[in-house]
Amino acid sequence: MSHNRYTIHDFHILDAEANPIPKIYIRELLDSSSAEFLFSKLNSRQKIDVIEALGIEELTVLLHNCYQYTGKTYNAEQEAEFTWMSLRNVSQ
């Protein structure tokens, strides 16, 4: 799946404009309680840019699939919505 700059591959987002192309794990963007989110090299504005480019709905589905694959029983929709709202509040 491609959206010009960003491409989704498995549970990662690839940034074609960065060199080298980094893999951004979905939990790094939308799972505020995860270590990946907390220790991400991306700041809030960068996370928002990726989410806006790909769409919150599409990324929420990806987070849901990630949770299912790893056996986690979290509610991806609630986590993504909470994280998305928190990111927007921080960036204002």
Residue 43 has pLDDT above 90, yes or no: yes
Tell me how crowded residue 59 is: count the other CB atoms within 10 A of its CB. 21
75: which DSSP letter? -
Q: How many domains does the chain have?
A: 1
What per-residue confidence (pLDDT) applies to 4?
Answer: 83
pLDDT of residue 90: 83
Domain that holds residue 27: 2-91
State the pLDDT at residue 48: 95
In this prediction, residue 2 carries a pLDDT of 47
- C-alpha torsion sign, points 38, 43, 44, 46: negative
pTM equals 0.88
- pLDDT of 73 above 70: yes
What average pLDDT does range 41-63 have in this prediction? 95
Residue 72 binned pLDDT confidence (cut-offs 50, 70, 90)? confident
